[in-house]
Amino acid sequence: MAIVVNKLIPEFEATATGGIKVSNTSHLGQVLVMYFYPKDNTPGCTTEAMQFRDRFKDFEKAGATVFGVSRDNMKSHEEFKTKLELPFELIADTEEKMCHMFGVVKNKIMYGKKVKGIERSTFLIGADGVLKAEWRGLKVPGHVDDVLKAVKTLKKA
């Protein structure tokens, strides 16, 4: 089932670093920011993670919980999280269940070959479990600030 803005997000269950279980109901009452990224330890993904890290306190103050999501395994996530001192958890979606549910798996051309990859995307889920906003195929510069603005706007509403 695909996700749609202004609708409840479908049922899902995943495990994040720190042994945290995340599901469509685990964080009801909290605003969730879920950002999907292609791969741990790549330049764009490292920059994006560091920007979320550097603004983490602002997200917390605005009442949002941040999760990074990629197809990397838990070992890779734990190392990436430690190396960058990330204060938020990373979800290991090794079977691509969440990636497909959120519609971020795309065909890409890499070195002249067609490959299946993750389109950098972020989703803002309200405290009621409803998808409030989405950013797809985004560029890293300025993105984290856009998401934070949307979280603050949501909090005021």
Catalytic residue ranges: 45
CB-based contacts of 136, cutoff 8 Å, min separation 6: 104, 119, 121
Distances (CA, A) of 69 to 96, 108, 115, 154: 10, 19, 19, 22
Write out the two tokens for 22.
């995340």
8 Å CB contact between 83 and 49: no
